[in-house]
Homo-oligomer: A and B are copies of this chain.
Amino acid sequence: MAAPWAGSRRPGRNFLFVPGPTNVPDRVQRAMVVPMEDHRSSSFPELTLPLFEDLKKVFKSRDGQVFIFPSSGTGAWEAALTNTLSPGDKVLASRFGQFSTLWIDLAQRVGLDVEVQDEEWGRGADPDRIEEALRADREHRIKAVLVVHNETATGVTSDVGAVRRAIDAAGHPAMLYVDGVSSIGSIDFRASEWGVDCAITGSQKGLMLPAGLGIVCVSPRALAAAKTAECRRCYFDFADQAKANATGYFPYTPALPLLYGLRESMRCLFEEGLEQVFARHRFLADGTRAAVKAWGLTLCAQDPKWNSDTVSAIMVPEGINGAEVIDIAYRRYNMALGAGLSKVAGKLFRIGHLGDLNELMLLGALAGAEMAMCDAGIQVQPGSGVAAAQTHFRGATQTAEQRAAA
C-alpha cells in the first residue's frame, strides 16, 4: 500500500507497467507448473514440434526456420549475428535508443564492422538514409541492415516495411535483421512480407512469459549464409539446433516450463486472434496517448508516425527528474514504471502497455501515474488523463457496437 504507515507487506497486486517483463496470464502461469520429464523421450516431440510451427505464425513467416534458445533476447541478438556473419563483415545499423545502442555494441564485440546511422532519440530508422548508404556501397560490402522495430527506450516504432522497400530500391543484396523483442506478438510484424532475414524476440514481452527464451526466425537465405559464417558460436549455433529440432529435440536440456508456457501463451494469442491482439494494443496505446495529451505533456516519439503501441515514453517538464516519478510510483503506489535510460535518463518515464492487459488495468496505472507526477511536483490535473482515456475507450466501444449492430 502506498500509505507511508504501511509495513513490509504490500497488499494487493503490483501494477507492472514496465515494457517487459509483462504480466503472465493465469492460464499460462498454470501451464508452467509441470513436473520435469525426459526431454529425450519418444513423446517429447508432441510438445515441441508444434511450437516451431506456431511461432512461424506469430512471426508471419512462411518459409523461415525458428530457433528457441534458453536465453534472454540478448542471446537471440548474438545468435542472429554470429550464425550468419563473419568477423570483419560490415553491417549497417540505425541507432536511436538504448536498445539499438546495445545491439550495435554487441555487433562490434562479436567482430563486425558496424556503419552506424544515428537518428535523434525519439525518431526511428530512416529508410531514405538507409537507401542512400546502400546505394553508396557499390561493392556490396554491407552484408546486413540492422533495425530495431520497436525501440523500447523511447517508445518509437520504425517502419520495417519501408526499410525493406529502401533496400529493394537500392538494389542491394544486404540481408535485413530486425529486433522485434518488444513488438512481436503485440504490434503487427510480417517476417515474410517484409523480407526479414533474422527476426528476433524474447519470451517476456508480447509472448507473456517469464524471460528465459531467446527466439530467432531465420529466412532460408540467412540459413544458407550460416554455412559459411565464421563467427565462433557453440551454445547459439543454428546447425546444432536445426539438427536436433528436426525430430523435436534440442542439443541440450531445454527450459521445460517455458516451453509449456509458450504453448499456452500462443494459444491465448490465437484464440484472441493476432489481428485483434494488435488492435487491442493500438486501442490501449491510443488511450494512453489521450491521457498524455490531457496531462499537457509530450511523448519522446517526435511524430505520431513513430508512436509505439507497446510503450509510451513520456517527457517530464524541465526541472523535474523522471526518476523521482518512478521512485514515488514504486514506493507509494506499488507500481513499476520504466525509467529513462542513458541519453534520456531523468528526462522521461515510460509506461509499458503490452501483453495481457485491459482497459481497467491501464486506467489504474494512469491514475497511479497521475498521483506520482503530482507528488513529484508536475502540474497535472488529477483524473484528467484517466478521463481522456475513458472517453477514448467508451467512444471506440460504442462505435464498434453500432457497427456490429448495423
User: Which residues from chain A sit less than 8 Å from chain B, CB to CB?
Assistant: 1-16, 18, 20-26, 29-42, 70-75, 78, 87, 106, 109-111, 202, 204, 210-212, 231-237, 251-258, 268, 271-273, 276-277, 279-280, 283, 327, 330-336, 339, 356-361, 363-365, 367-368, 370-371, 374-375, 381-384, 386-388, 390-391, 393-394, 396-398, 400-401, 404
* Cα(A7)–Cα(B72), bound, Å: 31
Knowing A363-B363, A393-B2 touch, does A356 contact B279 (C-beta < 8 A)?
Answer: no
Knowing A16-B38, A358-B10 touch, does A390 contact B404 (C-beta < 8 A)?
Answer: no
* Cα(A387)–Cα(B11), bound, Å: 22
Knowing A109-B232, A234-B110, A336-B41 touch, does A358 contact B74 (C-beta < 8 A)?
Answer: no
- Give chain B residues whose Cβ lies under 8 Å from the Cβ of A31: 30
Cβ-defined contact, A74 with B272, below 8 A = no
* Cα(A139)–Cα(B393), bound, Å: 65
Nearest CB to that of A34 among chain B residues?
B26
Nearest CB to that of A396 among chain B residues?
B3
- Give chain B residues whose Cβ lies under 8 Å from the Cβ of A394: 371, 374-375, 382
Question: How many identical chains are in the complex?
Answer: 4
Enumerate 18 A-B pairs (CB-CB under 8 Å) in ascending A order. A1-B359, A3-B283, A3-B400, A4-B400, A5-B404, A6-B272, A11-B277, A11-B356, A12-B358, A16-B36, A72-B235, A360-B368, A363-B386, A367-B367, A381-B387, A383-B383, A383-B386, A386-B386
- Give chain B residues whose Cβ lies under 8 Å from the Cβ of A334: 358-360
* Cα(A313)–Cα(B81), bound, Å: 40
* Cα(A26)–Cα(B16), bound, Å: 14
User: CB < 8 Å: which of B39, B251, B283 contacts A74?
Assistant: B251
Cβ-defined contact, A14 with B37, below 8 A = yes
User: CB < 8 Å: which of B272, B279, B367 contacts A360?
Assistant: B367
Nearest CB to that of A357 among chain B residues?
B12
Cβ-defined contact, A397 with B3, below 8 A = yes
User: CB < 8 Å: which of B29, B30, B38, B210 contacts A336?
Assistant: B38
- Give chain B residues whose Cβ lies under 8 Å from the Cβ of A330: 38, 41-42
Cβ-defined contact, A360 with B364, below 8 A = yes
Knowing A37-B336, A361-B13, A383-B390 touch, does A404 contact B4 (C-beta < 8 A)?
Answer: yes
Cβ-defined contact, B20 with A253, below 8 A = yes
- Give chain B residues whose Cβ lies under 8 Å from the Cβ of A2: 358-359, 393, 397
Cβ-defined contact, B256 with A211, below 8 A = yes
Cβ-defined contact, A371 with B383, below 8 A = no
* Cα(A36)–Cα(B13), bound, Å: 11
- Give chain B residues whose Cβ lies under 8 Å from the Cβ of A5: 276, 279, 400, 404
* Cα(A71)–Cα(B255), bound, Å: 8
Known A-B contacts: A72-B253, A386-B387. Give 14 more (CB < 8 A): A4-B400, A11-B25, A12-B23, A36-B210, A40-B339, A71-B71, A71-B235, A72-B254, A87-B232, A111-B232, A212-B258, A360-B368, A363-B363, A382-B391
- Give chain B residues whose Cβ lies under 8 Å from the Cβ of A237: 109
- Give chain B residues whose Cβ lies under 8 Å from the Cβ of A365: 360, 364
Cβ-defined contact, A7 with B42, below 8 A = no
* Cα(A251)–Cα(B331), bound, Å: 24
Cβ-defined contact, A235 with B78, below 8 A = yes
Nearest CB to that of A25 among chain B residues?
B11
Cβ-defined contact, A368 with B375, below 8 A = no
Cβ-defined contact, A73 with B252, below 8 A = yes
Chain B nearest Cβ from A275, distance in angstroms: 10
- Give chain B residues whose Cβ lies under 8 Å from the Cβ of A252: 72-74, 211
